Amino acid sequence: MGVISTDSPDSAAAATARPAMARVPLARTLVFGAVALLLFLLVVLPFGWVLNNSVHDDLTGAWTLGNYARIFQSADLLEPLFNSLLLAVATAVIAVGIGVPLAWLVSRTDLPFRRTIRVLTLTAFVTPSFIGATGWILLAAPNSGWLNALWRSLAGTEAGPLLNIYSMTGAIFICGIYTVPYSFTMVSSALDEMAVELEDAAATLGSGTLRTMLSITIPLVTPAVIASFILSFIQGLTLFGVPAFLLTPTGIPVVTTKLAEFYQLFPPEIFLAAAYCMPLLLVTAMLFWMRRRILGRKQFVTISGKSRAGRRIALGAARWPAFGAALLLPLVSVFLPYAALLLVSLTRAWGQGLSWENLSLYWYWWALFGNSETHTAIVNSLLFSTLAATLCVMLGTVVAYIVERRMVFGASLFGAVATVPIIIPGIVMSVGFFAAYTRAPLNLYGTPLLLVAAFAATFLPIAYAHGGSILKGIGPELERAARSLGAGEGRTFLSITIPLMGGGLLSGWFLVFIPIIRELSVAVFLITPKTNVMTTLIYNAKDGGNYEAVCAMSVLLLLITLALVAAAGPLTRLTTVRRTSRKTGRKSAPAEGVLPT
Amino acid sequence: MSGIRIKNLRKSFGAYTALHGIDLQVPNGTLLALLGPSGCGKSTTLQLLAGFEAPTEGEIWADDVLLSSARGVLPPEKRGISLVFQNYAVWPHKTVAENVAFGLAIRRLPKAEIAERLDRTLRTVRLEALRDRYPSELSGGQQQRVALARALAVEPRILLLDEPLSNLDAHLREEMRFEIRQVHDLLGLTTVYVTHDQSEALVTADRIAVMKSGHLQQLGSPEDIFERPSNAFVATFIGANNELAGTSEGNGAIRVGGHVLTAPDRSGAAHGGTVSLCVRPSQVRLFGAEETGLPAEGCNVLSGTVQRSAYLGEYRDVLVDLGGGRTLRAFIPPAQSFAPGSVVTALLPIGSCQILGPAA
């Protein structure tokens, strides 16, 4: 190396030397071991049992491929598959067909009351679709539905019902309107984050508003539109509550309701059910793979620029008609069903019609205090959801940290396992947990732990992805600085990383708590009378026909959910790390939104 | 022998080799600058020194302790090495005082001692008045001082600085250079300072290690590096330089195009080897083609056409086209002036020229 002048260190001593602290600390081994074990118990084991059961015979327990053969040979089992596909396609078409124009109106134009429309769409988002379906049963059941009654009073008693919610059309309508918020949120956030300069650049080159929209704006949000189509499709495919409420009574089976049926047979055909999960799993896995491919590197969210200041497309004379159209979705997904639920819940006996004497808060009193079953379910819902969300966020965050900082060899495998539940429909998750934990040595059937674990596993991908995205925003130098000052890995994580994640962690907690408390399908095979939650109680009570109680419970669940959503924003802001001193009184940066994009 | 000893340090990331076996010595109490363009391996060297990466081969010693080898790495928190980051990495959720005291709290020092050392360190970097501020309320230069104070408070054995000034504006950068040198003189810490800015390295360092593509090019004092560069890359990287590529004619002669020029030969190249004639623009003198009686004694003489000329107040920066795709830069007295297109004669004093080989 020519001119370089260095004395070589004493190589005789160095040859056999090894740094003093090369061994792996015990705490590190314990943490990684615990994470690996939890991931195994929550994801690998239930999923493995589904696979294993699917190739065994229900009666003999022998190894067989007969379950799969049965699915493709029996028309009885093929019909639900086609129905599910129909429901999924139609749901996705409605979701994108309404969601995309709505997103454009709200994000890009001078539509009046844009914020209100946004909030109402968000309200539809947090409304469990099976509760929406309940509301619409009150509105559009062929005989007793209020809208049909109204129609008969106008068109004469001889006229047939105007609407029949107990039909494929009805189910598509409900799945569609409650899936619109997904496509709306994804596309509007893509539009919001798109750099205004990109459109300006086209304008300076002489492109008009319409031309710009067609050749710049639309292509830029196309990935978001396609991704939301896929997500909506999966939603339509995997929903359980809506078809159970609207299609089962008329004998139209879909995959999810058929799965429930296997469990109700005697003897239950649990292994066949496991095999029957596979087509559903295959389709969702394929679609998520496609979604990944589409979003891939060309992620639409990366086209961000300065915040757009006010400049919007003027709708002119179309402003108010557009507002009317934009109000249609909140009308059918929020106002009408909420009003129906509220009214029925406030009547002592629905059948006696609306009158002052019939109005009462009885059913709320009954649900909260008068009936031990509902009381237990409410307590369980809150308790299980809190525990599950906490477990989910803790595990998701630690896994995200291990993956993001590549702390062990094969860290990305941890991430892959934590992501797997995203392709597992809730009802399949339920099948898996039932299979894995209703046997020795881990018989958890009837314990709260089973539900908490199933909830946590189902929403682990959300917590993991959310944790990862927060961590991406925290430069590793901030942690390395602590390390170089003498803090170990654990100390650094607790005193630097966690405080910096701050409000983001809380918003992640709400992000999983809200879907957990409204989740029905995961719980459906796992509950026992003692571990009933609000959603399953509503689901089961509906069969009993006690609509006043069902409505009161539904309204309570909606109130709890909406209150949480309302509280999430301010709470998250409060706990967001204070980055200015009190003296100067500058405001801290606003926390990120609580709802998924 | 004490201080930092780096022995045959190699680092590969998959197929890419960032460091090709570096040997370096930093005696205790000296400030070494690792200087080079981006991708030269200087930051990798620093990450290895700090213990965030494990070497593929080679060893790092501090005094008589082995810090890193291919067989294992002493974790960063056990090394007694403080690191100041390019983007400061000041924790936004802690005040200035909390940032600086963090390392002291980790060491479980008595409260009184923490307070005393915190005060002393804040005084050293002149931040006493801002101790309760949050980083978002500080300027870039102040944040840089917090990062420095935080690293100094723990009284490390070794201080590492990773491009500490590159995010500051030019004016502040110049001021902070002297400040860092001053702190170093005050505390006498063994310091490794990574930078791509040669003037930063010249101002602050006792010794400079110039790196390129994972190879060490030269290790020496600032004067060594500037006046006796080991190769053409070092000469061009440090200060303004003309590099006329040619082939060695042996005996202190180089063939550049049709000319044979002479200069002290430090290339060690054999006859016919690839070498360059290097000369600083400030040493080049220009004369009009019509001028006679030039002081050409002891000079290489070239002629060319003025391509452009820029007035910079203290001097004129003139670019001369020598033909054959070669150009020559000259810094001439501002009183002298040549219009673009005029034909000039350039005198290159032989004593100011050097024949140098290519980069390692």
What pLDDT does residue A296 have? 62
- The whole-angstrom distance between A397's CA and the closest CA on chain B is 19
Find, among A173, A131, A143, A179, the residue nearest to A547 by Cα. A131
Q: Which residue has the higher pLDDT, A186 or A387?
A: A387
Residue B156 confidence (pLDDT) above 70: yes
Question: Looking at chain B from residue 204 to 263, which residues have their Cβ under 8 Å from any Cβ of chain A?
Answer: 215-216, 218-220, 230-231
What is the enclosing helix (H) or strand (E) of B20? strand B16-26
What pLDDT does residue A57 have? 87
Positive or negative, the CA dihedral A58, A61, A62, A63 is: positive
Residue B298 confidence (pLDDT) above 80: yes
pLDDT in tens, B18-44: 999 999 999 999 999 999 998 899 999
How large a percentage of chain A has pLDDT more than 90?
Answer: 41
CB contact at 8 A, B196 and B208: no
Check A480 against B81: CB less than 8 A apart: no
Angle between helical axes of A319-330 and A114-126 (0-180°, round to 10): 20
Task: Look at strands B274-279 and B316-323 and give their pairing.
Answer: unpaired
What integer is the mean pLDDT of A67-89?
92
Q: Please list, residue by residue across A487-504, b when 16 or more beta carbons sit within 10 angstroms of its beta carbon and e when fewer do.
A: bbbeebbebbbeebbbbb
How large a percentage of chain A has pLDDT more than 70?
Answer: 89
Best residue in B23, B73, B148, B162 to probe A by mutation, most A CBs within 10 Å? B23
Find, among A40, A401, A81, the residue nearest to A252 by Cα. A81
Question: Looking at chain B from residue 12 to 31, which residues have their Cβ under 8 Å from any Cβ of chain A?
Answer: 23-25
Residue A582 confidence (pLDDT) above 70: no
Residue A104 confidence (pLDDT) above 90: no
Bond preceding residue A499 cis, omega within 30 of 0: no
Bond preceding residue A267 cis, omega within 30 of 0: yes
Distance CA A224, CA A529 (A): 43
Check B74 against A475: CB less than 8 A apart: no
What pLDDT does residue B169 have? 81
Hey, what domains does chain A have and what are their CATH numbers? 21-309+323-584 (1.10.3720.10)
Question: Looking at chain A from residue 427 to 486, which residues have their Cβ under 8 Å from any Cβ of chain B?
Answer: 475, 477-478, 480-486
CA A27 → CA A109, A300, A488, A587, B304, distances in Å? 55, 40, 11, 39, 72
Chain A residues lying within 8 Å of B50, measured CB to CB: 480, 484
Question: Looking at chain A from residue 501 to 540, which residues have their Cβ under 8 Å from any Cβ of chain B?
Answer: 502
Chain B residues lying within 8 Å of A8, measured CB to CB: 7, 23
Which residue from B1, B78, B95 is facing A7, i.e. has the nearest CB?
Answer: B1
* Three-state secondary structure call for residue A184: helix
DSSP assignment of B234-262: HHHHSS--EEEEEEEEETTEEEETTEEEE
Query: Bridge-partner residues for B265, per DSSP?
Result: B355
pLDDT in tens, A4-41: 333 444 444 444 456 665 456 778 889 899 999 999 99
Check B77 against A4: CB less than 8 A apart: no
What integer is the mean pLDDT of B273-286?
94
CB contact at 8 A, A276 and A71: yes
- The whole-angstrom distance between A543's CA and the closest CA on chain B is 53
What pLDDT does residue A394 have? 95
CB contact at 8 A, B346 and B303: yes
* Most confident region among A387-396, B83-92, B147-156 by mean pLDDT: A387-396
As a residue count, chain A comes to 597
What pLDDT does residue A2 have? 38
Check A9 against B5: CB less than 8 A apart: yes
Q: Which residue has the higher pLDDT, A579 or A413?
A: A413
Q: Which residue has the higher pLDDT, B245 or A143?
A: B245
A295-304, A371-380, A400-409, B342-351: range with lowest mean pLDDT: A295-304
**Residue B278 C-alpha from the chain's centroid:** 19
What pLDDT does residue A24 have? 60
What pLDDT does residue A578 have? 52
CB contact at 8 A, A9 and B6: no
pLDDT in tens, A251-294: 999 999 999 888 888 788 888 888 998 988 898 889 888 887 87
What integer is the mean pLDDT of B131-155?
91
Residue A581 confidence (pLDDT) above 60: no
What pLDDT does residue A1 have? 35
Distance CA A490, CA A334 (A): 47
Check B72 against A487: CB less than 8 A apart: no
pLDDT in tens, A469-524: 889 888 889 999 999 999 988 899 999 999 988 878 888 898 899 899 989 999 98
Check A5 against B151: CB less than 8 A apart: no
CB pairs under 8 A between A and B: 152
ipTM: 0.81
Check B69 against A19: CB less than 8 A apart: yes
State pTM to two decimals: 0.81
pLDDT in tens, A303-350: 444 444 446 777 888 889 999 999 999 999 999 999 999 999 998 887
B121 shares contact with chain A (CB less than 8 Å):
no
Which residues 6+ apart lie within 8 Å of A80 measured at CB?
Answer: A253, A254, A255, A257, A258
